[in-house]
Structure 1
Amino acid sequence: MITEVAGLIDEARAFAAMEIRPYAATFDEEQQISAGLIRKMADKGYLGASFPAMYNGLALDAVSYGLLTEQIGKACASTRSLLTVHTSLVGEAILRFGTESQRMNWLPEMAAGNKIGAFALTEPGAGSDARSIVTAYRRHKDKYVINGRKKWISFAAIADFFLVIARNGTDISAFIVDAKSPGVSVVPMKGLLANRAAHLAEIEFCEVEVPEENRLGKEGFGFTYIVNTALDHGRYSIAWAGLALAQEALEAMNAYSIQRKQFGRKIFLHAPVQAIIAEATTGVHAARSLCLRAGSMRQTKHKDALMETIIAKCFTAKLAMKVTTDAVQVHGGNGCSKEYPVERLFREAKILEIIEGTTQIHQEAIAEFSVRQYGMR
């Protein structure tokens, strides 16, 4: 890693230790991350971390962006999800498919934290089967009109704009919609298992007019190109998020095991606890290798980079669930109390097996890839 990037990651680690980790439990309890933290992240350049310098971004490559994501994700999953949604899903889609006018209009403002974006794909009846969305658009003179409802949209409660995926018959298209447009209603979602501070909300669109210049990409290209590209970037971010939770949980169980005593000696000295720690350590090292490999392949535009990203995301999501569960086990009864962070890490880990494609959907894709890659002799 070059010195400049290494310094940035060290700085992000220190930033997370001072500005995020001490408040993560409060964010979770109050079900929101503070506007002040978002402003500080913007001032550090994190909200445009992967954007080119010409759009006021840090121009981080895939590996460096992953390492940054890990540092933020270790400290607080909801805070990390701002990078996943705002930067990876929305920002990268605009960077890839936007006109130069759209890029110049939105990306610098996103990098500066002046405009927060949310990715409006999921609906009450369309989750894994994203093609079955029913939110509809129609053309009316020089505008588009959108009607429908979106659900489980991270940061929709505070977003300045949404990247909305809607359909017209068999055509699926993407639109940049101002959150203050007439006909837009946003209802925050509370009482969630995890990602409680990620400002999730439902969005209703009732005869919402969108100017033609706010269509992203060609009409009808919304799913095959924009959604698939956005989700690929989102999965890469989630792969590092899984590693982050697993690493944080590993550190927590180690720290606890060397200070907690049972049966007259530290629990680290008991063979069953050693076995748990050893397995978790091995898994975390393997997960890191997969994330680094996926990042490296993305940088070189390797033909299998997309699949390697899916493999990394699937593995780290499952690993995060396993290691956080084991961290609770090592903590015993204390692991079930919110006084210890492993309780929150355990809840946050479950979400990663669902978002940006469920583990089961990814296993199907990996199996099909495996047959093509290794089934022919």
Structure 2
Amino acid sequence: MTSVWNPITIGMLTLKHRFALAPMTRGRAQIDGTPSPLAAEYYGQRASLGLLITEGTQPSADGQGYIGSPGIYTDAHVIGWRKVTDAVHEGGGHVFIQLMHVGRQSHPDNTPHHRQPVAPSAVRPGVQMFTLSGMQDIPEPRALSTEEVQSTVQDFRLAARKAIEAGADGVEIHGANGYLVHQFLAENANLRTDAYGGSIENRGRFALEVAQAIADEIGPERTAIRLSPGAPLGGIVEGSDSAELYRYLTRELAKLNLAYLHIMHFGDDALLADIRTLWSGPVLVVRLGRTRETLLDDLNSGLADLVPIGRWALANPDFVERYRTGAAFNPDDPATYYAGGAVGYTDYPFLANATA
């Protein structure tokens, strides 16, 4: 049985243990998408987690959906992220920037250009979005042309290059949770009749082209992807062929020899077992409802190689030490998840301070 304290190699990185920081939206970037100075402190505080996967970061202006989400497509973004990566590296950790194009999960009030959201097809998600004016219905998106789909692939490529320029150790493609890559996979969000819609192969084409473009640009050992089979988020309904689609996608992605595959698991244990078999490299698995007692179940069973930590790491910058010693965890405060500023961000106490 693999111990959580066994080292592991991820791409070019050697990690001292099997924990990682899960990507979590924090909503504290500056208005132009540059990470705030507090971001360097926040991620630096959590460097002991080893592999830190950042919050979702838009690869273009069209990719933004939320207020205060960061970008990685301008020189200013690179300078801001360099402060973050330097802080993490100084603390002995490593950083993968998660590239998240939200697609239709957006509102014009939240983007720098105030344009209509873009998506595989002109289908509303049927959910609301928080804006500075409060909760608003997400408008109908504009369907990307075939040429624009291909241009969006290049946006991901550029963003990956910028991430490496900013000192990141790699990038994770956000192909999950109802965002653009996931929208291409889902039958109810993708009604296209060109090469990017219809069959399993066509609906998976965008994800594969993005992964290939990034691997070509920065190397497969610096490229990873997150998927969420069956996730009913953002109005997504994947369809009756969902399991076979993810088996196909896993087989094709495995040919690229990416750094890792990150699964947000929503309950199909048989499919997760198949994915584990089809994927030859490291697998990260996040499940809802984990407890301290069940946290390592997927690692112990062999379904996962790393265990990403979300809210516990948000509230406990020294999560690894607390887990190792059996110390109590700080409780997280949902009211401050996206509140802005240091409160609920960089002010959670370390064990040594709490003990003192």
Question: Which of these two proteins has the greater Rg computed from alpha carbons?
Answer: 1
Normalized against structure 2, the TM-score is what?
A: 0.24
Report the TM-score when normalising by structure 1. Answer: 0.23
Higher helix share: 1
